[in-house]
Amino acid sequence: MINKRLIGDWGEDIALEFLKKQGVKIIEKNFSCKIGEIDIIAEEDDYLLFIEVKYRSDLSYGYPREAVTYYKQRTISKVALWYLKKYNLWHRSCRFDVLEILGKAPDLKITLIRNAFTV
């Protein structure tokens, strides 16, 4: 079985490439604190983006976005608040996105779900 971390890193690299092509400015990858982790922190227009990346090779367990449960959303929100506090970014407008990767290379379907959830 392939290491889940390797798959996660691969998915995040695909996500970074996709986001850059969309004109999104990447600030940080795998930002973590004692509360948890956010896969990607980026900027688009006037928004600070907190992006969760999810990959699945098929729909056996549903869409990747469905793995971003209420509990996961709550954790991401708490980490985002910690990030805003750490860098004194309270004035920034924020958005929580999910980047979904589905399929097997080279036939990947990538979907950026903007405003996937709110705090």
Q: Tell me: the pLDDT tens digits for 45-54?
A: 999 999 999 9
pLDDT of 1 higher than 70: no
What are the backbone dihedrals phi and psi of residue 98, each rounded to the nearest 5 degrees, phi first?
-125, 130
Contact (CB, 8 A) for 38 and 82: no
Q: Give residues with Cβ within 8 angstroms of 97, minimum separation 6.
A: 49, 50, 51, 52, 112, 113, 114, 115, 116
pLDDT digits (tens, 9 = 90+) for 82-106: 999 999 999 999 999 999 999 998 8
Q: Count the domains in the chain.
A: 1
CA distances from 86 to 12, 50, 79, 89, 105 (A): 24, 15, 10, 8, 38
pTM for the structure as a whole:
0.93
Residue 30, domain CATH: 3.40.1350.10
Q: What range defines the domain where residue 106 resides?
A: 4-117
Rounded to whole angstroms, how far apart are CA atoms 94 and 115? 9
Reduce the DSSP state of residue 63 to 3 states and report it: coil
